[in-house]
Amino acid sequence: MNPIQIALLGAGTVASGVVKVLERNREELRRRAGREIAVAAVAARNPDKARAALGGALPITSDFEGLATRPDIDIVVELIGGISPARELVLSAIAAGKHVVTANKALIALHGNEIFAAAQARGVMVAFEAAVAGGIPIIKAVREGLAGNCIEWIAGIINGTTNFILSEMRDKGLDFATALAQAQALGYAEADPTFDIEGIDAAHKAAILCAIAFGVPVQFDKAYVEGITALQSTDIRYAEKLGYRIKLLGITKRTEQGIELRVHPTLIPANRLIANVEGAMNAVVVQGDAVGPTLYYGKGAGSEPTASAVIADLVDVTRLHTADPEHRVPHLAFRPEAMHDIPILPMAQVVTAYYLRLRVADQAGVLADLTRILADAGISIDALMQREAGEGEGQTDVIMLTHDTTEARMDAAIARMQALPSVLAPIVRIRKEELR
C-alpha cells in the first residue's frame, strides 16, 4: 500500500520532533498503522532556516495555503500555533478534503466548534491529542478509554511553566518574580510568559477537556481564569504547615446546577499524588462514576513528547482514513446531534472550600469578630491557625480553612471582614479542593 502523505505546516520545535520520531520509528509505525506515514513537504516562513533545522532531504516551501490544499496530501499537520493564519489554513485544508492533525490548543479552544462542524460536513477528521498535556494521551483516555463512565470531574496540572515556578517557590522559598526569571533562564517560560502565568494556556486546555468529558460545545469564553502572579511565598509556607500544597489547577466538574469550568491556584492535600507533581511535569486526575479516580502523568511539552501525541493522531487517522465517517470516533466524544447545551456556571455559583489569610491587629476580640461574620454567612471553619506576633509588633496573621460554600457567600463574607478596622491589609483568598 502506498504511504499516506502528510504536510507539515510549521518547522519549529514540534515539527522537528515529528520528523525525527517518524524517521526513527518508521517500521514500528508502519506495523501499527498498516502503511507508511511519509512527510511529503513542509511549509515554513523561513525555508532556509527550516532546511537547517530539519535536514536537506525534505521539500520545503513558503506557500502554506498551496501545501495545505495540494491534491496529493492526505493529512495536514498544523504546527504553527496561534489563531491566524492557523484557523484559515485548517479550514482550507478541510474544504479541500484533507484530514487535519493539530497541536494548537488556542485554536481548538476558541474555534473548535467551527472547525469540527466543517470537518463533519466534509467527512474528514480533526485530531488534537497534542493540544492538551503534551505527550500525555489524555484526550484519547477521556474520549475513548473512559467511554463507559459518566465523568464526574477532571482536575489537572496542565501548564508546566506555572508548575515549575510554584515548585521553585515551595522548594527554595523564592518569590514569584525570582522563580519566573529562573524559569525563563532555563527555557521553561517564554520571554512574554503572559499566557502561562495568567492561566490562559491552562484554561484553553481545560475548556477542551470540559467539552470532551461532558458532551458540550467548547466554551473557553465562559471559563473563570486566575493565574499565579499574585501568589506569595508566605501562603505557600502556611499551606505547607496545614498539610497542603498550592498548584495551578484546571478544573471542570459536573453538578446538578450545571458545569464548573475554572483555572486558579488551588490548595490540595499534600498526600494526594497530584500534589507531588513537581517541576515542569503535567498531571490530570479524571473521576469516573464506574472506574473512580484515574491519574495521568508525564511531560506536558517539549519537542518529542508533543511529537509523540501528534504521531499517535497520525496513526489513528491513517487507520481510519478510508472508514465510513459515520463510524469514526466523534471529535468531542459524543455524536454531534447528541451534544448538550448544559450551562457553564458563573463563578458566584461555584461551590468549593477556601484558604483565607488575614493580617489583623493583635488585640482582643478580633478573632471573635471574624468567626461571627463567617457564621452569619453560613460558612463553617475547618481549621484555624494564628501566627504568634513578635514583641511590640502589634499585628499578626490569622489563617483559616473553611468547609465548602458558594463563591458568592464567600465574596460577601470577605467584604464584611475587609471593612473591619482591625483587618490591616487586603485579605488573601485561595480556593481549596480535596480531590477525593
CATH code assigned at 317:
3.40.50.720
Report whether the peptide linkage leading into residue 137 is cis, meaning its omega lies within 30 degrees of zero: no
Per-residue confidence at 387, pLDDT binned at 50, 70, 90?
confident
**Residue 354 and residue 267: Cα distance in Å, rounded?**
8
Both 108 and 158 in a single domain?
no
Both 162 and 290 in a single domain?
yes
Both 11 and 160 in a single domain?
no
Both 203 and 124 in a single domain?
no
Structure confidence at residue 327 (pLDDT): 86
Residue 343 lies in a domain: no
Structure confidence at residue 57 (pLDDT): 86
Average pLDDT over residues 91-105: 98
**What percentage of the chain has pLDDT greater than the value 70?**
99
Both 410 and 333 in a single domain?
no
Residue 345 lies in a domain: no
Structure confidence at residue 326 (pLDDT): 85
Structure confidence at residue 167 (pLDDT): 97
Per-residue confidence at 350, pLDDT binned at 50, 70, 90?
very high
CATH number at residue 408: 3.30.70.260
408 Cβ partners below 8 Å, 6+ apart? 348, 349
In the sheet that holds 4-9, the strands lie side by side as 60-61, 37-43, 4-9, 75-78, 99-102, 126-127
Both 172 and 147 in a single domain?
yes
Structure confidence at residue 390 (pLDDT): 66
Both 289 and 162 in a single domain?
yes
pTM for this prediction: 0.96
Greatest alpha-carbon span in the chain: 83
DSSP 426: P
Number of structural domains, the chain? 3
pLDDT digit string, tens, across residues 202-260: 999 999 999 999 999 999 999 999 999 999 999 999 999 999 999 999 999 999 999 99
Among the candidates 338, 362, 396, a domain finishes at: 338
Report CA Rg, the chain.
24
Both 148 and 293 in a single domain?
yes
Domain containing 423 equals 351-432
Q: Which residue has the higher pLDDT, 53 or 309?
A: 309
Which residue in 105, 140, 205, 432 is the catalytic one? Answer: 205
Average pLDDT over residues 122-136: 97
Kindly state the cell numbers that stand for 302.
517539549
Residue 216 lies in a domain: yes
Beta bridge partners of 284: 156, 296
Active site residue 205: yes
Q: Is the model's pLDDT at 134 over the cut of 80?
A: yes
Both 144 and 273 in a single domain?
yes
